[in-house]
Chain A
Amino acid sequence: MTVAPKHEDYDVVVIGAGPAGLAAAAISAEAGLSTLLLDENIGPGGQVFRAIASTPVTERSQLGADYWVGADLVQSLRASNAEVIQRATVWSLDRNLDIAISVGGASAFVKAKRVILATGALERPFPIPGWTLPGVMTAGAAQTMLKSSALVPDGRTVIAGQGPLLWLLAAQILRLGGRIDRILDTTERGNYFAALPHAFAFLTSPYFAKGLSMMREVKAKVQVVSGVTELSASGDGQLANVSYVAGGKRETLPADLLLLHQGVVPNVNLAMAAGVEHRWDELQLCWSPVLDANGSSSVAGIAIAGDGAGIGGANAAVVRGRIAARAAVEALAPAAAAKLPAMATLRADLAKAQRGRIFLDTLFRPAPQFRIPSGDTIVCRCEEVTAKDVLDSVAIGATGPNQLKAYRRTGMGPCQGRLCGLTVTELMAQARGKSPQEIGYYRLRAPVKPITLAELAAVPKSEDDVKAVVRG
Chain B
Amino acid sequence: MFRRSEQDKRPQVQIFVDGVAVAARQGDTVSAALLASGQDARRSTAVSGAPRLPYCMMGVCFDCLVTIDGVGNRQGCLVPVAEGMQIEIQKGKREIGR
Contacts and interface: CB of A to CB of B under 8 A. Distances in A.
Contacts of A140: 56-58
A144 B7 contact: no
A185 interface: no
B56 A138 contact: yes
Given A149-B36, A237-B42, A137 B62 contact: no
B38 to A, nearest CB: 10
A137 B55 contact: yes
Contact of A418 (B27, B52, B61): B61
Contact of A149 (B8, B54, B56): B8
A132 B1 contact: no
Given A148-B32, A383-B47, A141 B57 contact: yes
Contacts of B14: none
Interface in A125-170: 132, 134-138, 140-142, 144-145, 148-155
B3 A152 contact: yes
B7 A58 contact: yes
- Best-surrounded residue of B8, B61, B63 (most CB of chain A within 10 A): B61
Contacts of B57: 137-138, 140-142, 144-145
Interface residues of A, number: 50
A87 B1 contact: no
B67 interface: no
Contacts of A383: 47
A149 B4 contact: yes
A36 interface: no
A177 B84 CA distance: 31
A97 B23 CA distance: 44
Given A51-B27, A381-B63, A144 B58 contact: yes
- Best-surrounded residue of B25, B51, B63, B78 (most CB of chain A within 10 A): B63
Contacts of A154: 1-3
B88 interface: no
B35 interface: yes
B29 interface: yes
A419 interface: yes
20 contacts: A58-B7, A132-B63, A134-B53, A136-B55, A137-B53, A137-B56, A138-B55, A141-B57, A142-B57, A144-B77, A149-B25, A149-B29, A150-B5, A150-B8, A151-B4, A152-B2, A237-B42, A238-B42, A256-B1, A450-B73
Given A144-B58, A418-B60, 16 more contacts: A51-B27, A54-B27, A56-B10, A134-B51, A135-B53, A142-B57, A144-B32, A145-B35, A149-B4, A150-B4, A150-B7, A151-B2, A151-B5, A153-B2, A237-B42, A384-B48
Interface of A: 40-42, 47, 51, 54, 56-59, 87, 122-123, 132, 134-138, 140-142, 144-145, 148-155, 176-178, 237-238, 256-257, 267, 381-384, 413-415, 418-419, 450
Task: Pick the 5 closest A-B CB pairs, nearest first.
Answer: A141-B57, A134-B53, A414-B62, A150-B5, A150-B8
